[in-house]
Structure formats: structure tokens, C-alpha cells
A and B are shown apart, each in its own frame.
Chain A
Amino acid sequence: MAEAKVAPRPLSPHLQIYRWSWTMAMSVAHRITGVALYGGIALFAVWLVALASGPDVFDTVQWFFGSPVGYLVLFGYTWILMHHMLGGVRHLVWDFGHGMEAAQRINMARFTLIGSVVLTLAIWVVAFLAF
């Protein structure tokens, strides 16, 4: 049987060849934050199951989330969540065919980062003041 000849096809360069742009960075960040949220939701599941288990288990878990490490995790999680949410809104805007121009794309990418930081800080300030 004749060997199938594979023509040398052009390959697209690897990620590190390209000059980093705002849209590229936020696109990568959207995926990474998605993966982080995918793992991080297990923390919420653990907290809920601890609540359903009883006061002893709950107090242990609640102690962890109230510790400096716990606060750091929750703060990071808040930012990742806000970043992924704003990135998702950006994708929904694109799904409707808007925001495709160069300037709009870059501004939306910048807004994703700046907006997520502002939202995260706002949430934590309000949470500390209100609760």
C-alpha cells in the first residue's frame, strides 16, 4: 500500500513569537480565569457541605476562610470572578457583531482589566462597611 504523502503545511507560530497585545493578553486571561474558577468552585462546595454537616466541621472551614490565607484566596477569587464576568460580557458583545474595530477591541480589553480591579475593590469595601 502506498504511503500517504503529507505535504509540508505552513504552521502558525507559537504563542511566544507574537508581540503581546491587550486583546491577546485578555483572551489568555479569560481562559486562565475560567480554569481558576473551575477549580475554585470546589471551595464553595466544601463550605456548603460543611454547613450541611454541622457546627464542628463548619467552624473549621469558616476559620480557614477567616484566616489571612482564606481572605487572600477569597480576594483573589473575587478578582478572577469579576475578570471572567467582564471578559464574558465582552464576548457577548462580539456575539452580536459589535466592538470589532481595532480601537474598540483594545478599549474593551483594557476595560476588562481596569473594570475587574475596580469592581473587586468596590465589593470588598462595601462588604466591610455593610456587613
Chain B
Amino acid sequence: MADNRADTRVSMRTPLARVKGLGASGHGVEHWWIHRMTAVSNIPLIIAFVIIVAALAGSSYQEAISIISHPLVAIILLLAVISVVNHMRLGMQIIIEDYVHDKGLKIAAVIANNFYAVIIGVACLYAILKVSLGRILV
């Protein structure tokens, strides 16, 4: 097997830079790794989400409140929103970086992407918490 390690005698990189291992982006594999981690967490959370939404079909206001405000449902939905919103934010950033070449436009698009993800996330979390906090199962 070929030795692919960087030749430390000719490398221009400082030993500190190599130890940190963050590369040219300055944040290493963080984006890639969180994208995969949320991909994994999305799977069980989305399966639960689909079941919850199916149970909500055609429900009245009172029925919908009683389903969403159930602690188990609320916690699953909170986790799902956090996982999904982060996953989609990272995914859209990859698409922007692939197709938007103008630097100013790219920065604007990445910022807008982050804002959108935060707005969606906060709106969902607020609504779930508002509906479910204070309910005691009797």
C-alpha cells in the first residue's frame, strides 16, 4: 500500500496546522460529519414523524392539540425539527456552493439559507412548546 502521508520535509504547512487538521476551509470535516450524523438521526425521527402526521389526518383542533401536546409526541417532534433543520441547512449549503459561483451572491445565498433554517426551526419549536408545555396527563 502506497504511503500517502504528507512528506513533512517538503510540506509548507506548519506542524500546528497539520495537528489541528482543519484544512483549507478552517473547519475540517465538521460540515460533512454533522450532515451524516443528522442523516442517521433523521431516519428513526422521520419514521415517527410520518406515523404522527398520519394520526393527525382529518383531526379536529382538540384532537390535534391532544396528539401534539402528548410529551412523547412533543419530544419526538422537537428532536425531529432540530435534526431535520440542521440537515437541510447543511445540504442546501452544499448545493449553493456547487452552483452559485459569484462570490457576493454565494455569501448572500448561504446567509439566507441559514436564516431560513433558523426561522423554520424556531417557528416549529415555538409552536410545539406553546401547545405542549403545561399539559399534565391525567
The interface size bin for chain A is 20 to 34
Task: State A55–B64 Cα separation when bound (angstroms).
Answer: 10
Task: State A92–B33 Cα separation when bound (angstroms).
Answer: 12
Which of B7-15, B38-46, B100-108 is near enough to bind chain A? B38-46
Answer yes or no: A78 CB below 8 A from chain B CBs. yes
Nearest B-chain residue to A55, judged by Cβ: B61
Answer yes or no: A88 CB below 8 A from chain B CBs. yes
Of residues 26 through 53 on chain B, the ones whose CB sits less than 8 Å from some CB of chain A are 36, 39-40, 42-43, 46, 50, 53
Cβ-defined partner of B54 (8 Å) among A35, A48, A81, A131 = A131
Of residues 106 through 138 on chain B, the ones whose CB sits less than 8 Å from some CB of chain A are 120, 123-124, 126-128, 130-131
A92 x B95 contact (CB < 8 A)? no
Known interface pairs A48-B124, A51-B127; A66-B58 also in contact (CB < 8 Å): yes
Known interface pairs A38-B92, A58-B64; A81-B127 also in contact (CB < 8 Å): no
Answer yes or no: B21 CB below 8 A from chain A CBs. no
Minimum CB–CB distance for A76 against chain B, Å: 14
**Cross-chain pair count, CB within 8 angstroms:** 74
Answer yes or no: B91 CB below 8 A from chain A CBs. yes
The secondary structure that dominates the B interface is helix
A58: chain B residues within 8 A (beta carbon): 61, 64
Task: State A58–B59 Cα separation when bound (angstroms).
Answer: 11
Task: State A49–B50 Cα separation when bound (angstroms).
Answer: 19
Minimum CB–CB distance for B136 against chain A, Å: 19
Minimum CB–CB distance for A93 against chain B, Å: 12
Cβ-defined partner of B36 (8 Å) among A34, A95, A131 = A95
Minimum CB–CB distance for B76 against chain A, Å: 14
Total residues of chain B contacting the partner, CB 8 A = 31
Minimum CB–CB distance for B84 against chain A, Å: 7
Task: State A45–B84 Cα separation when bound (angstroms).
Answer: 12
Q: List 21 A-B contacts (CB under 8 A).
A: A34-B92, A37-B88, A38-B88, A41-B88, A41-B120, A42-B120, A48-B124, A48-B127, A48-B131, A49-B127, A51-B64, A51-B131, A62-B59, A88-B42, A88-B43, A95-B36, A123-B54, A131-B54, A131-B55, A131-B57, A131-B58
Q: A58-B61, A59-B61, A127-B57 provided; 6 other pairs, C-beta below 8 A?
A: A34-B92, A41-B120, A55-B61, A88-B39, A123-B50, A131-B54
Chain B residues with a Cβ under 8 A of chain A: 36, 39-40, 42-43, 46, 50, 53-55, 57-59, 61, 64-65, 68, 84-85, 88, 91-92, 95, 120, 123-124, 126-128, 130-131
